[in-house]
Structures are given as structure tokens and as C-alpha cells.
Amino acid sequence: MDSPPPLSAIKDAKVLMVGAGGIGCELLKTLALSGFPDIHIIDMDTIEVSNLNRQFLFRQKHVGQSKAKVAREAVLRFRPNISITPYHANVKDPDFNVDFFKQFSVVLNGLDNLDARRHVNRLCLAADVPLVESGTTGFLGQVTVHLKGKTECYECQPKPAPKSYPVCTITSTPSKFVHCIVWAKDLLFAKLFGDKAQDNDLNVRSGNASTSDHTEDVFERRKDEDIEEYGRRIYDHVFGYNIEVALANEETWKNRSKPRPIYSKDVLPERLIKQNGNMDSASATDNPSSVSAMASLGMKNPQEIWSLMENSKIFLEALKLFFGKRGKEVGNLSFDKDDQLAVEFVTSAANIRASSFGISLHSLFESKGIAGNIVHAVATTNAIIAGLIVIEAIKVLQKDARSYRMTYCLEHPSKKMLLMPVEPYEPNKSCYVCSETPLSLEINTHRSTLREFVDKIVKAKLGMNLPLIMHGSALLYEVGDDLEEDMVTNYAANLEKVLSELPSPVTSGTLLTVEDLQQELTCNISIKHRSLTLCLCLCLCLCLSLSLSLSVHRDVWWWDFC
């Protein structure tokens, strides 16, 4: 395939692409056809069947293989004279440090998650390498340019938090199908197949308070208990008994439609349940990712809405397959939208609960989109965005700062345009990432532990991977493979202490320094003690129990671990 000679600005360019998915496939093709001679790709994912409708470099035979490696092979077939280096790895791995980033002329992002985007942004700032960021959602898309000291960084403006729902709605009074999905995914799936020691709102005890059975945890499988009996017991408890308990509170249902308890014997005659349990699974394979309750039951159409009976069969079959075929994973699983069996289980559980509460049922295809917060990709949008990324990358290499644009791809015309270019914004002077502005945190120092501070703020909110926390010259916490054993023990002990009782106490007025050596990012956090009222604490607990969040008021953050 012939093409015009490359622009002089890109002849010696060395480009890093992060992500080889929907945008990444289009981007790699466009870079190759534009004459970029040296391209490096980082992507940790393997190819899924669901990728094939838009990630055109992949074929059915590539399912299960590395996206980065297969993308390289596909492009070299029509551009054999360029250099493409693939890395089947996580961009957050220690190998991809600041020195690694410094070797590139420009970094181009085609990522699909906030955490990785923040990490790449920080490494680009530390390495002083230009970053072209991108994203698509259905027909919408955007491309932004980030240069240290000249334009705002990726984190200069707060990003919208994922949608969360009040815990009381999820556990007691669902009114939308998404409420049932969240319940099935974050509560039931996590309780059955995730960390058993982790509390969640399904830690419900069975039986009557006056009996010894009250202490039994129904989610614990009894010794020598048949998997079918266990599955029916779980089914009857969460869809039957728990609903009856909820109905006992008549005040709740004065202005709401009452749910109906559903028991397995009312949906599936016992002989059908036994027949289902004795079926020879169609997923007899050594590959856990190919295990499927649908295949086991001979159901093929993911866009069909299952009946209550079919959902019940899928529920029991999926539970059986998890314990029978993937037993080694049980106890360590978290929901993954690309895990077929997990999606089947969550879909069936959500539909049974929806049936109980009079909510319309949904297909597996629809449920997967809701559970994975998926807006289905549009290949054309990805192609447009990839072209815009390359245009901005060329401007960066030509050092044509006046021409840089943030460009938005719109679903409907605005001012007769579907592509809306905007001049990049200047750096936000209050951004703690690129301006080193101190942060203020209001927190209950007498109740909040160092572990909560590390997990909920330093890691979850500040996005640090390998944090080091200092109070003056005192080192309160550090992680790393090269630590002495006594230091590891000391830091582990500190994690369980409340802030005000640390060896170097953290109280109102304390200035903490938090560093991430991998990202070469340092933040100073000014601590102010704040005791919230009991009423406010209870409200916070209720609102944050499913999705903890940090309220931001200008540069002041507050947090109370109730």
C-alpha cells in the first residue's frame, strides 16, 4: 500500500500508545499509514469475542491472545517496514516508570478507565512528555492535549464520579432494574464468591431470634451439603425469606407496591431442579472463562428475555458451575463484565429480584451493559477520534502550540458542527497534581485509622500506587519489596492505629507529606480535626456504605470514618 512521504516532524518520532482496544486499533492503523516509524504499545488485555465487532485488527482465531501483540502482527502485514514494540502488561507495572516514559516524543492514550488515565498523566508530567488523551462513549468522543506548564493536565478538572445508589434503595426498596443489578453484583455475587471475611449488607442471619438457628450464616455451605441443596437454600433465603422479613415492616409499604416472596419450589418443581442438577454440563473444559450456564442448559440467544423459570434455572446452574468447575476461584472472585458465568449469574439474580418487586426483566445483553456501565461502542466514533489524536500528535511534534485543540465529537450538530474544537485551557493553579498546591483535609483524627486514610484517600482518591507518608521527618507508612522485616511489621502496626495515636500523632494542624515514588508525585495535606454530629455520621454511613466518596469544597476535603 503506497502512501506519501511522512512529514519531517514525524520521521524521528518515537510514540507510546497506551491501549489497543477500540480506539487503539484505529489509532495504530492511522499512525502506521501516516508514516510514524517507531510505535510502542502497552495493553494488558486479551481479545474477547465481544471485541470483534469494532476492533477490526482482531479475528475469531485471535480470541484469548494478547491485544498488543496481535495488533502489531496485523499492522505489520501492510506496513512491514515500521517498528512496532508490544507490551502485554499493565501500564502501572514498575517497569513503566518515569525513565521509560522519557524516551518517547509523545504519549497517546486509548484507555477506558480513570485510574490508568490518572497514572499515565502523572508519569507524563514527571517525564515532561506531551500527552494526547482521548475517550469515546457511543456517538460521543473527545481528544485533549496536555503539556506540562502550558495546558491543563488531565486531572486539573474533577472527573464525574461513577453513579452510585443509596444503600437502602438497593437492599430494601428497588424501583429500577439497575437497583437489582447493583444488588446482584455488589452484594450477592460478592457474598457468595468473593472475600468471605468482608462484611456487606447480605450478612443476614437466618432463623428466629429465639432459636439457635439464628446464629447460622446461610451463606456458609454446610459440611457434606449437596450443591443443589445449597443453591436452593440460598435461593429461598434471598428471594423468599428475606422478602417476607421486609414485608413484616408494614410502614415501608404504605405508599409502595409490596414485593412477593419467591421460593424455588414454586417456580421449579423439585424433579426439574434435580434434573437440572444432574445434567452433564456442556462446559466441560479446562478453560474457566468458557464455562457457561447458558451452554449447559442449551440456551443460546443473549438478547432473549428469560422467563422466571429460566432465570431460576440459570441461577442454580451458574452457582453449581462456580463451585464445581471454578471452585479454586471461589472466595477471591470479583465481578468482571467479561466473565460469562458471572454475567449469567448476576443477570438471573437481578431478574428474579426484579420479578419479586414488579420490575421489568432484561436480557443478558442488556444486563451486561448495565452491570459493566457499558455504553456500546460505535466503530465510526473510534475512527474519528483516532484521526483527531494523530492530528494533535503531529501538531505537538511540530511544536505548533497555537494550533492545539481540544476537540469534541457530538451526537447532534451544534452550530452546524459535529466536531467542536476548543482552545486548551491553562493549568489549574489549584490542581494538586501539576501545580503542587497543598490540600486541606478535614477528618476525625480520633476515630479514623491510618489504614482508612491510606485506602480511602491516598489510594482511592489521590490515585497513588506505592505511597510513602511522612509527618515531618517521621516516616509513618511505606510500601516496597526492599523493606526490612522490622519496618514492615512497624508499618503494619501503624495501619491499625487511629491518626491521633500514631508514634508521631496526626492532629489538627498537622502537615502530612504523601509521595508516590513510581509516579514521582508529592502532595502536602493539611489536616484539620473535625467531629461530625451523630446524625451526620449516620447519614454518611448510609450514603457511603456502597460507594465511598470524598466531598470537595474548593481545596478543602472532609472525611469522617463512622
User: Residue 308: what residue type?
Assistant: L
* Residue that is written with C-alpha cell 470479583 in the block: 334
Q: Please list the residues that pair with 414 across neighbouring strands.
A: 417
Choosing from 124, 168, 180, 431, which is the catalytic residue?
168
Burial degree of 458 (CB within 10 A; 0-12, 13-18, 19+): buried
Tell me how far apart the 2 most distant CA atoms of the chain are, in Å: 84
Residues facing residue 553 across a β-bridge: 556
* β-bridge partners, 526: 440, 511
| Cell numbers linked to 47 | 481479545
Question: Helices 340-356 and 364-371 meet at what angle, rounded to 10?
Answer: 100
356 in Cβ contact with 260 (< 8 Å)? yes
The reply to whether 168 belongs to the active site is: yes
| DSSP string over 464-519 | -SSEEEEETTEEEEE--TT--HHHHHHHHHHHTSBGGGSSS---TT-EEEEEETTT
What is the DSSP annotation of 189-200? IHHHHS-TTS--
Give the residue carrying C-alpha cell 437502602.
168
Count Cβ atoms below 10 Å from residue 133 Cβ, excluding itself.
Answer: 24
What are the residue ranges of helices labelled H in 338-439?
340-356, 364-371, 379-397
**Angle 308-325/270-278 helices, nearest 10 degrees?**
40
Lay out the sheet containing 83-87: strands in order across.
83-87, 38-42, 14-18, 106-109, 131-137, 140-146, 406-414, 417-422
State whether residue 347 is helix, strand or coil: helix
**Which ranges of 212-371 would DSSP assign to H, the alpha helix?**
227-236, 242-247, 264-267, 270-278, 293-297, 308-325, 340-356, 364-371
Q: Is 18 helix (H, G, I), strand (E, B) or coil?
A: strand
User: How many residues are listed for the chain in this entry?
Assistant: 562
Q: What is the CA radius of gyration of the chain?
A: 26
**Cβ distance 367 to 347 under 8 Å?**
yes
Residues in Cβ contact with 92 at an 8 Å cutoff, skipping those fewer than 6 apart:
115, 116, 119, 465, 518
Q: Please tell me what DSSP assigns to residue 306.
A: P
Does residue 233 come out as left (phi exceeding 0), alpha (psi in the -120 to 50 range) or beta?
Answer: alpha
Question: Looking at the annotation, which residues are catalytic?
Answer: 168
